[in-house]
Amino acid sequence: MDCPKWILSGLCLISLVSGATVIELLGTLKLELDFEYVLLMKNRNFSLSDQVWNGTSLTKDVMDEVQVPVLQFNENVSYFLHNSISRRLVTLGFMSDANLDEHRGLLTALVANLRHMTTSRVIFLVQSKASTDFLYELFRNCWRKKLLNVIVIFQDFETTSTFYSYSNFPILQIEERIYETSLQTLPIFPDRLRNLHGYEMPVILGGTAPRMIAYRNKKGNVVYDGTVGHFMTAFQQKYNVKFVQPLQAKNPLDFAPSMQTVGAVRNETVEISISLTFPTIPPFGFSYPYEQMNWCVMLPVEADVPPFEYYTRVFELAAFLLTLGTLVLISCLLASALSLHGYATNISEFLLHDSCLRGVLGQSFVEVFRAPTLVRGIYLEICVLGILITAWYNSYFSSYVTSAPKQPPFRTYDDILASKLKVVAWKPEYAELVGRLLEFRKYETMFLVEPDFNRYLALRDTLDTRYGYMITTNRWVLINEQQKVFSRPLFQKRDDFCFFNNIPFGFPLHENSVFMEPVQKLIMELAETGLYYHWITTGFSELIDAGEMHFVDLSPHREFRAMQIQDLQYVWYGYAFMVVLSSLVWLLENLAYTVKSKTIFPTHFMQRNKK
């Protein structure tokens, strides 16, 4: 076993110092940390009762002199203290000797009791002489169990005032320090996480753009941009740490999906996953949310109405019925006025007069000779109505030709299902959706589930308007920036088509990780300064630098085209209907004429009967 590197904080001490007690050390620590509880832990077979240390009862002295509550546990007690008391506590662990094998159960129970508080301060009181091997083994186990702030006091502390601590940055180092109030320049528990001194932290990268944008610059170096890539750079610079990837792929630009990186953290292969994923319930083993997003459906913009439907879109049903009722009313008035003044009228003209129909359609019509004033007024009314309706129709029709109306938008998921539009979804995300929202199982046929992650990304990035896509709000910001280059947008995102809102996404790391605090501190600082939102908006330009996007207009170009036969589809339908109707009328007229011109019984048959 290699001998650990020692750092002697009390180098070049010229004079001897007077002895100190544990209570004095706790008193000084109370001034530095203002802790609120003391946790005393020992093995059941600890020979001395009532936690006696060098002839004094620590339990009584702590409560009397330090004046804080004391909790007493043994190795068989495992209690989730984080749910009940403050994080500001100090733990005293009693060890009867320097045989670590006899106290492994105590260490395990200590970590269980300090769950989510393993960075709190721990003091081990060992009733034996100082041992280098024991210290090395103890501190190595403390690092593995995520106990960061640990000091060890041996039984000669009251005569030597010497205590021991450790730092694992950049490698395991044991520190020997002298406690003396007059010489105390450093805190008893220094902030280990302020500067990690180039510590090589094992991590795993994951995710996709715009969170992680990886490419090689002109010098051939790998660059990590995007919201997660910038966080990675900021963390390394702020805390003087270097990220290493023990599970890096052959191509450093290829990453696993975010959800598949969690396993490497749970089996402690890496310290942290530099990728965002949604937490479990309860959210243990995840950082404070770095991103809060909505999970929605991105749908194509409503298509233009086909040109052959322009003729039917000018009038709504209510407007058409109102116009038709007005024609019938004016026809009835005209026919009544003509009949009143002795002009011949047909019964059908009371329903729809020929002059009224022609006038409203903007055609010429024949007035009666020497028409009375009342009839002339009705004729004038027909002319004014015809001018208004034809001008109204032509203006609407012209605007439709220059700016086509849109198809009705989708209002519910049932509308999407009825339209036969497929929503592309990655299989794990689709499973998460139907697993949490059972009501979406009836829309199973609405989704096109793609099991391969790379094929799903390739299909989504094509922006094919034949499909809709499941998308997050951060990705929508990127697509929205891209669509500003287009002559017209292709897709839209609506808040009423969101499956989940305000989903917290954080970094997976061990629930007792010593790096939980610096990660969360940096997350809040980035949100406070607005850097996170700045990195979101610059994602499009960074993808252009990475060569993944280009200033290309993917929208279909609008060009002038002449009127085609299919544009007159409804006109041809009307023409065909009128041809058939007029042919039927012509046939009926000929049949009626033939029947009337022939007698029912032949003439020679009637003469023979007379004889």
Q: What is the pLDDT of residues 545-596, one digit of tens each?
A: 998 888 888 888 777 777 788 888 888 888 899 999 999 999 999 998 888 8
Q: How many residues are present in the chain?
A: 611
State which residues of the chain have pLDDT below 70: 1-20, 45-56, 182-185, 599-611
Task: List the one residue out of 149, 40, 155 whose CA is nearest residue 96.
Answer: 155
What pLDDT score was predicted for residue 10? 36
Q: Which residues of 277-304 are buried (b: 16+ CB within 10 A; e: fewer)?
A: bbbeeeeebbbbbbbebbbbbbbbbeee
Ramachandran region of residue 232, left (φ > 0), alpha (ψ -120 to 50) or beta? alpha
Give me the pLDDT at residue 415, please: 93
- What pLDDT sits at residue 486? 92
**Do 130 and 198 form a contact (C-beta atoms < 8 A)?**
no
Contacts of 564 (CB under 8 A, 6+ apart): 307
For 445, the enclosing helix (H) or strand (E) is none
Burial class for 496, CB neighbours closer than 10 Å (0-12, 13-18, 19+): exposed
pLDDT of residue 53: 56
Three-state DSSP class for residue 204: strand
CA distances from 600 to 158, 291, 589, 590 (A): 142, 94, 18, 17
> Is the previous residue joined to 504 through a cis bond, with omega within 30 degrees of 0?
no
Residue with tokens 């793609």: 450
Please tell me the distance from the alpha carbon of residue 54 to that of residue 51, in angstroms, as a whole number: 10
The pair of three-digit structure tokens given for residue 543, joined into one six-digit string: 């993808």
Residue 136's nearest CA partner among 22, 6, 316, 315 is: 6
Host H or E run for residue 551: none
- Given a contact cutoff of 8 angstroms between Cβ atoms, the answer to whether 73 and 40 are in contact is yes
Write the CB contacts of 128 (distance below 8 Å, at least 6 apart in sequence).
Answer: 95, 97, 98, 134, 154, 155
